[in-house]
Amino acid sequence: MNYKEISEQLVELLGGKPNITSNAACMTRLRVGLRDMSKADTGGIKKVEGVLGIVEGDTLQIIFGPGKVNKVLEELYKITGLAKGQAEDGDVNDLTRENKAAQKAKYDKPVQRFLKKIANIFVALLPGIIAAGLINGICNVINVSTQGALSGIWWYECIRTMGWAMFAYLPILAGYNAAKEFGGSGVLGAIAGAMSIANASMPLLATYNDAQITLPITNAVFNPANGGLLAALIAGVFFAFLEKKIRKHMPDLIDTFISPLLVLIIGGIIVLLVIQPLGAVLTKGIFAILSFAYEKLGVAGGYILTAGFLPLVSVGLHQALTPIHAMLNDPAGDTQGINYLLPILMMAGGGQVGAGLALYLKTKNKKLKGYIRDSIPVGILGIGEPMMYAVTLPLIRPFVTACIGAGFGGAAAALMHLGTVSQGVSGLFGLLIVKPGQQFGYIIAMLVAYAGGFIVTHFFGVDEDIINEVYGE
């Protein structure tokens, strides 16, 4: 596969270099920002070698799969001249008023746009979150199995520090990215996020006259962990909003100095008195809902969560769950770093594999069989997008039956209380991050998901007429 040629084709099909404003990548998708989305030839892009599908939104997401997407990005950024993950400081006024109106009418869905922004905040953080989670999980196993034999050895403690540092300072990174994503200065958002970091040197934690500082209204002692990651996320967004408002009315002569100062002073007080308590309430609410679904609903909760997950994936909104996964994998959090939500959601891909097998056995369409044959191996390994975008989603009915069948795998995962120590992989590779000792249970749950997707699709998801209409006879 010639990634340079692929990138050159993409630039042309995306409307040329001047039309591209940003290029970034997540685990499987190349995210491209465009000045004018109507100039993109989406049909042509789908035919480019290696492209598994596209998702249209405020950015164009081109699906290549893991590994390949990074190689495409490497070549693409050489052509565009844009740093990876960064947007060009271009003039949006280059767009005509008509194009702006058409674009807004097509993509102006507030909830979807907001969730995608939240997803974008964490896309760049995923490599660190995944690696740190694995370090924490592996080190925990080593400590228990060796009874702490490596404790105190410099290289081992260095590795442990890397796992600790990511989650200890994650609020700073989240605040930084949140402020940038919503149009503010990243460094101001980072300072907002730092309010959620516990440090003995923090003035608010100092002791005066043998007493700690108490806050107004609540008369409680300041707790930097109050609200945690969500507080940092909200604070970063708020700082961006506040900065734009202040700069709008600030004279140019003093804008550089006074605007950031006012953002920190005004924003800091609001973070302390409003946003952190709000973050605490939201965090407790999220954990209460998840606990209810996991503990009270049990098997039914697992089924519902799994069956409803793939529709989120199909429109690219699954990344919005990253903050929740990050909180669940935080060793200092309520779950001690064990993510009990992820194994349930991972079963959704198993339903897709099962649906693909059912289609392969029942259909006579050679083109569809070819797509399925190419998609199943990577689907088993945890890359479900080829199966979803090339097979089940275009046919609709198998996509629905795959979701219904996958729910049984999610129910099994909930029944066995499966957990992971990190995130970022699924399918067979999910065995690498499953809580030690639960690998056999994970395999059982995945086989249930395969069987569920296969059986429901075999009896209710295959319509040869629709297949021939979509793929040709």
The three-state (H, E, C) secondary structure of 316-381, written as one string: CCHHHHHHHHHHHCCCCCCCCCCECCHHHHHHHHHHHHHHHHHHHHHCCCHHHHHHHHHHHHHHHC
Q: Give the per-residue pLDDT at 92.
A: 28
Active site residue 26: yes
Least Cα distance to 31 among 10, 3, 9, 47 occurs for: 10
Q: How far apart are CA 111 and CA 206, in angstroms?
A: 41
Q: Give the per-residue pLDDT at 359.
A: 95
Q: Give the per-residue pLDDT at 94.
A: 32
End-to-end CA distance of the chain: 29
Give 317's pLDDT tier (boundaries 50, 70, 90).
low
Check whether 193 has a pLDDT greater than 60: yes
Give 319's pLDDT tier (boundaries 50, 70, 90).
low
- Token pair of 388 as six digits: 């979803």
**Domains observed in the chain:** 3-108 (3.30.1360.60), 169-289 (no CATH), 300-471 (no CATH)
State phi, psi for 44 to the nearest 5 degrees.
-65, -35
- Cβ distance 216 to 210 under 8 Å? no
Among 86-95, 376-385, 410-419, the range with the most confident prediction by mean pLDDT is 410-419
Check whether 389 has a pLDDT greater than 50: yes
Q: Give the per-residue pLDDT at 102.
A: 37
Whole-prediction pTM value? Answer: 0.66
Among 17-26, 179-188, 285-294, 428-437, the range with the most confident prediction by mean pLDDT is 179-188
Q: How far apart are CA 453 and CA 447, in angstroms?
A: 10
Q: How far apart are CA 382 and CA 384, in angstroms?
A: 6
When the pLDDT of each residue in the chain is averaged and rounded to a whole number, the result is 85
